[in-house]
Amino acid sequence: MAVNTEFDASTDWKGELLDPKNDYVFKRVFGEDPALLVSLINDLRPDLPEIRSVEILNPGINAEELRGKYIVLDVLARDAEGHAYNVEIQVRRYGAWHQRALYYLARMLASQLDAGEDYDRLRAAVGIHLLDFDLFTETPEQCAQALWRFEMRDGHQPQVTLGNQLQLSLVELKKADRLRQGTGPLADWVSFFEHWREEQIMTEIEHAPIREALNRVRRLSADEEARRIAFVRERALRDEVSLLNEAREEGREEGRLETARNTARNLIALGGLSDGQIAQATGLPLEQVEALH
């Protein structure tokens, strides 16, 4: 399936471009253009066999998804061989990220078979996640790598595998851009997602699918309703982050209060200090210290 290689003059939008990392924009750009999605999948996994075409399984977006808490707008597709793909962008990191990614991938694999069907009918379930944050940062080796692919392999002899039915490819966009990891189209996609506003960088990219993706972003940016929905989605994601931060801060504050209460209890048990002195030492209100007796 060919991608349009012509620059569309009608998309020469002079206003502020929408962010292709906004998952609403991402889904509109790649979830409505199978040929463009094929190019993205192939370019992000240049060492694997190319796919020729896909059927997009969830092209629509409903209002509940836009405002839903912790919902990710992903693109689901199936190629001509029956392999399933989950392609998504992630702009925020949360504690259960690994578990969600693995659960979703396993569910994609398990949902292929109906009751009584043979396991040899299983096709690959492939996750391709673009992350706009650094995920692996615990060691210098992790900090020096931005492109990852996880499969079922033995820990001692990685050349021994259980097949490629489960695959999860990750691209840490900021890290890949910073380290200049990736070559050819893969590097160009990293530049697209990280520098879409920088005209000079964008004009230097000649890869036709990226030119088409930029055209689609321009068309969406010129659409008033698309801009409104993208803003609604961005606001929902910001609200979600704020709620998570508030919950974490409340947890930390509760931990500090419990430590202060325990200290006050110990000081009361030791004796020798007035309630006012204990309140001053622990930072607790006087009435709380009195209530601990």
Q: What is the pLDDT of residues 213-254, one digit of tens each?
A: 999 999 999 999 999 988 888 877 666 545 444 444 554 555
- What does the alpha-carbon distance between residue 195 and residue 70 come to, in Å, rounded to a whole number? 26
**Does residue 217 fall inside a structural domain?**
yes
Report phi then psi at 84, rounded to 5. -100, 145
Instruction: Give me 67's structure tokens.
Output: 């405002």
**Does residue 195 fall inside a structural domain?**
yes
Q: What is the pLDDT of residue 5?
A: 38
Q: What is the pLDDT of residue 247?
A: 46
Indicate left, alpha or beta for 275 from its phi (over 0: left) and psi (-120 to 50: alpha): alpha
- What does the alpha-carbon distance between residue 71 and residue 94 come to, in Å, rounded to a whole number? 12
Task: For the chain, give the number of residues.
Answer: 293
Instruction: Give me 144's structure tokens.
Output: 């020096």
Q: Total structural domains in the chain?
A: 1
Report phi then psi at 115, rounded to 5. -55, 130
Q: What is the pLDDT of residue 9?
A: 38
Q: Quick one: which of 176, 205, 167 has its CA closest to 84?
A: 167
What crossing angle do the helices spanning 208-221 and 184-195 adopt, rounded to 10°?
Answer: 20
The whole-number average pLDDT for the span 177-185 is 94
Q: Which domain holds residue 109?
A: 9-222
Lowest mean pLDDT of 19-33, 96-110, 148-162, 185-199, name the range: 96-110
Q: How far is CA 6 from the centre of its chain?
A: 30
pLDDT tier, 136 (very low <50, low <70, confident <90, very high otherwise): very high
Sole residue written with tokens 């005209």: 199
Within 13 A of 273's CA, how many CA atoms are on the CB side? 20
**Does residue 179 fall inside a structural domain?**
yes
Instruction: Give me 289's structure tokens.
Output: 């210290």
For residue 214, give the 3-state DSSP assignment: helix
Q: How far is CA 133 from the centre of its chain?
A: 8
Which class for 23: exposed (0-12), middle (13-18), buried (19 or more C-beta within 10 A)? buried
Which residues, 6+ apart, have CB-to-CB distance to 72 below 8 Å? 23, 88, 90
Q: What is the pLDDT of residue 125?
A: 94
**Does residue 249 fall inside a structural domain?**
no
- Name the more confident of 292 and 109: 109
Lowest mean pLDDT of 4-8, 35-39, 92-96, name the range: 4-8
Q: What is the pLDDT of residue 267?
A: 66
**Does residue 34 fall inside a structural domain?**
yes
pLDDT tier, 42 (very low <50, low <70, confident <90, very high otherwise): very high
Q: What is the pLDDT of residue 237?
A: 67
**Does residue 114 fall inside a structural domain?**
yes
pLDDT tens-digit series, residues 51-103: 999 999 998 887 776 665 556 789 999 999 999 999 999 887 766 777 888 88
- B/e letters for 133-153, b = 16+ CB within 10 Å, e = fewer, are ebbbeeeeeeeeebbebeeee
- Name the more confident of 216 and 164: 216
CA-based diameter of the chain, in Å? 84
**Does residue 241 fall inside a structural domain?**
no
**Does residue 27 fall inside a structural domain?**
yes
